[in-house]
Amino acid sequence: EWKRGDYKHTQKVVERLILLGEMDRAVQLLLETDLDNSHYYTDGIKACLVATIQSTGAAQSTIKLVATNLIANGKIWEGVQLLCLIGKGLDGCRYLSSYGLWESAVWLAKSTLPPPETLEVLKKWADHLIGLGEKEMATLVLLSQGQLGRVLELLLTQGHVVKAGLLLLALQDIKYSVDKSLFSAVQARFCEHTRICEPLAEAMAKLQPVC
């Protein structure tokens, strides 16, 4: 909010405030638009809408309809703001992700949604990353959300057998329940890997530096 004279910057701040549910501050900034600014009328109307928004079913239906129409016509952020006004942040995240704006969807989810809804968005982001071949990034996303079973699966598919085995050992220490078939798969792959590596480990231990 430091660049009050910069209209575009102020609009970005208003956008973020609405998305974050800071309605009073958003209204204040909208009302500070200069009288000679060509956007004064629309900003005033928007301020009125934000200030008087009601939670009635009829109002929500109307606003949701306007939001979806805006999004369909390419005004994605304008539509998402309206959805956030009526507590439909998850729908906003879904629209953002459907238009490929994944980073924005994740930011909005982490900033405004309750944990179960945030998890839904981030799991879909992980699936998207997997589809792009970015499995390591997807692994980190799932790990951050405590999806440890999925993390084990991804580690195996990437050939990170030792990491999968060590994670399984750690999960056993904290009594974390793992699907039986996944448990067996990790256990088998880890044991096979250590058997293959054992002769190499012995050979490495016997090495002497060349003088």
pLDDT digits (tens, 9 = 90+) for 137-153: 999 999 999 999 999 99
pLDDT at 102: 97
d(Cα 54, Cα 203) in Å, to the nearest integer?
Answer: 74
d(Cα 171, Cα 25) in Å, to the nearest integer?
Answer: 45
- How many residues are present in the chain? 211
d(Cα 116, Cα 11) in Å, to the nearest integer?
Answer: 30
Q: What is the separation of C-alpha 79 from the centre of its chain, rounded to a whole number of angstroms?
A: 19
Residue scoring higher pLDDT (80 or 54) = 80
Residue 121 has pLDDT above 90, yes or no: yes
CA dihedral sign of residues 177, 178, 181, 185: negative
pLDDT digits (tens, 9 = 90+) for 13-53: 999 999 898 888 888 898 888 878 888 878 878 887 887 77
Residue 207 has pLDDT above 60, yes or no: no
d(Cα 118, Cα 66) in Å, to the nearest integer?
Answer: 25
Q: Where are the alpha helices (DSSP H) in 57-179?
A: 57-72, 76-85, 89-98, 102-112, 115-131, 135-144, 148-157, 161-173
Q: Find which of 104-108, 170-174, 197-201 is predicted with most confidence, using mean pLDDT.
A: 104-108
pLDDT at 5: 58
Backbone angles phi, psi at 155, to 5 degrees: -60, -40
DSSP label at residue 33: S
> Taking all residues of the chain, what is their mean pLDDT, rounded to a whole number?
86
d(Cα 1, Cα 11) in Å, to the nearest integer?
Answer: 10
pLDDT digits (tens, 9 = 90+) for 147-173: 999 999 999 999 998 898 889 888 888
What is the mean predicted confidence (pLDDT) over 119-139?
Answer: 96
pLDDT digits (tens, 9 = 90+) for 179-188: 999 988 988 8
Residue (of 108, 166, 102, 97) closest to 137 by Cα position:
102
Q: How confident is the model at residue 202 (pLDDT cuts 50, 70, 90)?
A: low
Q: What is the separation of C-alpha 1 from the centre of its chain, rounded to a whole number of angstroms?
A: 25
Residue 135 has pLDDT above 90, yes or no: yes
What is the mean predicted confidence (pLDDT) over 98-116?
Answer: 96
């900003």: which residue's tokens? 43
Geometric angle at alpha carbon 45, from 91 and 6, rounded to 5°:
85
CA dihedral sign of residues 119, 122, 126, 127: positive
